[in-house]
Amino acid sequence: MALSSSVFAEPVTIVALGDSLTAGYGLANQDDGLVPQLEGWLKAKGADVVVQNAGVSGDTTAGGLARIGWALGPEADALIVTLGGNDLLRGIDPASSKASLDGILKEAQARGLPVLLVAMKAPGNFGPGYKAAFDGMYADLATQYGALLADDFFAGLRAAGADPSDPASLAAFMQADGIHPNPEGVKLIVAGLGPRVEELLARAGG
C-alpha cells in the first residue's frame, strides 16, 4: 500500500530566541510558559509544529547575538526574536541594540529562515529621542530584512484592557515582581502573538 508523503513529514521547528519572558521565568509550572503555551495554541489550530525554547533570563540583544549561531540548530525552520526588554532596563543605547538585532536577522537570512520580530516598547522616562529610536528599530529592521513584525509583545494584554504602563491594571496578569506575566498573562500574550506566528509558519512551509 502506498503511504501518503505527509506520514513522513517532519513538524515545522520554530526557535524562540528571547529573554526571561520567553524562558518562562518565575512560573511554578514550566508548561505555563510562553513557549509551551504557544506550541499548544498552534497545535490546537491544527499546526504540526515544535517550538524550541531558546530564552535565557537576563539576556540582552547582544546576548542573543552572541548565541544565535548555536541556538539555531540544523532542524530550525523559522525564528522568533523577542529581545530588548533587558536593554531597556539597562538603558542601553538603541543604536547598539539595533546593531545586535541586525546581526541576529543577518544570521537567519544567511540560513534562509523566516523571522518574526517581536517588538518591545520603551517607557517615556528615557526621553522622547530614546523612545523614538528604540521603538522604531524593530519596524526598520523588519522592513530591511523582510521579516514579519509583531509591534508589541504585550498586545494581548492591551486587548484585554490592561495597560503595561499602569501596574494596577496589570496586577491580575502579572507575577508579584510586576515584570513577568503569570499563566493567565502568558495566555493573553500568546493569543495576541499567535496569528503572527501562524503567518511565520506559512512562510516556513507549515
Q: Check 19, 20, 77, 100 and give the catalytic one.
A: 20
The DSSP H or E segment spanning 81 is strand 78-82
Residue 135 known to be catalytic: no
Alpha helices for 53-146 (secondary structure H): 61-71, 85-90, 94-110, 128-145
Using CA atoms, how far residue 167 sits from 51, 123, 138, 181, 193, in Å, is 30, 13, 25, 12, 22
DSSP state of 124: G
Q: Check 32, 59, 77, 180 and give the catalytic one.
A: 180
Instruction: Give the Cα separation of 118 and 142 in Å (integer).
Output: 10
Q: Check 4, 6, 166, 177 and give the catalytic one.
A: 177
Residue 180 known to be catalytic: yes
Query: Coil, helix or strand for 24?
Result: coil
Cell 544567511 sits on residue? 110
For residue 14, give the nearest of 99, 58, 73 by alpha carbon: 73
Residue 163 known to be catalytic: no
The 3-state DSSP composition of the chain as helix, strand, coil percent (nearest 5) reads: 55, 15, 35
CA gyration radius for the chain? Answer: 17
Query: Coil, helix or strand for 62?
Result: helix
Are the C-beta atoms of 79 and 113 separated by less than 8 Å? yes
Active site residues: 20, 177, 180
